[in-house]
Amino acid sequence: MAGNQAGAINLIDTADAAAPGGHYSQAVVHQGVLYVSGQLPIRANGVHSVDQPFEVQASIALDNLVAILSAAGRSTSDLLKVTVYVAGIEHWPAFDRIYARYLGEHRPARAVVPVPALHHGYLIEIEAMALSTKRSQKRVCCAAQREQAPSPQGNDKLARQIRQILLCALEERHIFPGLLC
């Protein structure tokens, strides 16, 4: 995974997507969730596409999203929630077609928010949240934690084991999605 450590937050940075244009990261990982910053349709080489039709802009923004997911070792099938800002709700049907082509059968939660204008005059911006760990590994981890009998070697260790078991159980019931085992 490309990135730098900053406490408990892993910063994701890739040359395969547009560089941040301000004081923010392309994405960060925290507690098992990848948070992707809003992606405008700026090409990875920095070329702006504000003069391009909506369909081209949507594809470039989605290409940036896919590149960042890839840099974090993830794919579109790991997306949990996508928020799309469009300058004009008339672009919704075109976006939906392009989005379906990129995501295939995967259907994460999504909001398409019409806005009066976007930075630089763009027609679309996309931000997302995705899993940053493999789901099957988390389930195995949580199942293994529950199967282990707490050790009677002291109250602190017992309390930590019980807490871990409860947190994993809550996570699997989607009360705390993203909480790591």
Query: pLDDT tens across 91-128, in order?
Result: 999 999 999 999 999 999 999 999 999 999 999 999 99
Q: Mark whether 118 and 65 lie in a shared domain.
A: yes
Same domain, 34 and 87: yes
**Beta carbons of 50 and 119 less than 8 angstroms apart:** no
pLDDT of residue 162: 73
In terms of domains, do 48 and 93 share one?
yes
Instruction: Report yes or no on 45 lying in a domain.
Output: yes
CB atoms near residue 145 (< 10 Å): 16
Q: Side chain identity at 131, as an amino acid letter?
A: L
DSSP 8-state code for residue 152: -
Based on the fold, state whether residues 29 and 42 are members of the same structural domain. Answer: yes
Same domain, yes or no: 159 and 122:
no
Please indicate, yes or no, if residue 178 is contained in any of the structural domains. no
Mean pLDDT lowest among 5-14, 36-45, 83-92, 158-167: 158-167
Q: Choose among 68, 67, 49: nearest CA to 58.
A: 49
* pTM summary value: 0.72
The boundaries of the domain holding residue 12 are 4-131
- Catalogue the E-assigned strands of 23-170: 27-30, 33-39, 79-87, 109-115, 124-131
17 contacts 64 by C-beta, under 8 angstroms: yes
Paired sense of beta strands 79-87 and 109-115, if any = parallel
